């Protein structure tokens, strides 16, 4: 009986141990499953965190690039401003130099023109003086007797010229000059003077 009781107790203890171990194993399984689930969640969170960090790195790189570009743009704008200022300064200097050169050229041209005008006037005066001081040499005029001996006398009137008299009376200038020995028609014709007009028969 005692043996049976001891055997029963041993069996009961074994059963309790088995049950306890089985319950512990179930609890362990649950705990491990929970831990696995927690690890999975942590792993997923870690992946999400990595993605966010990578995105932050990319955003930081973009911001750095934008800052560098903005700084470069400011430098470029400053260079452009300085260049524009230098160009404007050069333009002002060129215009000033151009105006100064124009004035110098005009002054020099005016000086040369004045000098040339004086030289020309002096040359003209010299020529005029030489002509005035040149002795007048009378050119001998030879008259021909080859003119009609027939004709008529004519009294010179105001406004008469040899060509008019010759035309009005059917004569020639040469015949009238030869007949009256007229050297210079414009000086030798006198109003009221009687001349002979040769007229061919």
Burial 139-149 (b: 16+ CB within 10 A, else e): eeeeeeeebee
Would you say residue 82 lies in a domain? no
Give the CATH number for residue 157. Answer: 3.10.350.10
Question: What's the CA gap between 51 and 62, in Å, rounded?
Answer: 16
| Block residue for tokens 């014709």 | 189
Report the percentage of the chain scoring pLDDT > 70.
81
- What confidence tens digit (pLDDT) does each residue in 128-179 have? 777 666 655 656 778 888 899 999 999 999 989 999 999 999 999 999 999 9
Per-residue pLDDT band at 102 (split at 50, 70, 90): confident
Whether the CB-CB separation of 200 and 150 falls below 8 Å is answered with yes
Mean pLDDT of 53-69: 86
pLDDT value at position 15? 54
pLDDT of 165 reads: 93
Range of the domain at 171: 151-198
Asked whether residue 171 is assigned to any structural domain, the reply reads yes
> What is the pLDDT confidence band of residue 40, given thresholds at 50, 70 and 90?
confident
- Say if residue 44's pLDDT is above 70: yes
In a domain, 14, yes or no: no
Q: Is residue 169 part of a domain?
A: yes
Task: With respect to residue 51, please indicate whether it lies within any of the assigned structural domains.
Answer: no
Q: Is 194 within a domain?
A: yes
pLDDT at 8: 58
Name the domain count of the chain: 1
| Contact indicator for 146, 134 with CB cutoff of 8 Å | no
């Amino acid at each position: 009986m005692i043996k049976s009781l001891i055997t029963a107790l041993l069996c009961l203890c074994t059963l309790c141990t088995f049950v306890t171990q089985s319950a512990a194993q179930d609890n362990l399984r649950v705990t491990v499953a929970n831990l696995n689930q927690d690890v999975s969640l942590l792993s997923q969170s870690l992946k999400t965190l990595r993605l966010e960090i990578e995105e932050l790195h990319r955003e930081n790189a973009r911001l750095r690039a934008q800052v560098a570009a903005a700084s470069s743009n400011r430098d470029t704008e400053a260079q452009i401003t300085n260049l524009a200022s230098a160009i404007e300064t050069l333009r002002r200097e060129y215009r000033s130099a151009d105006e100064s050169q124009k004035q110098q050229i005009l002054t020099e041209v005016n000086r040369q023109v004045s000098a040339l005008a004086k030289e020309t006037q002096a040359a003209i005066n010299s020529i005029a003086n030489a002509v005035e001081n040149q002795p007048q040499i009378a050119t001998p005029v030879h008259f021909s007797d080859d003119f009609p001996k027939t004709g008529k006398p004519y009294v010179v009137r105001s406004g008469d010229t040899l060509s008019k008299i010759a035309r009005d009376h059917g004569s020639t200038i040469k015949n009238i000059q030869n007949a009256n020995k007229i050297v210079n028609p414009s000086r030798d014709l006198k109003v009221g003077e009687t001349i002979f007009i040769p007229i061919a028969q």
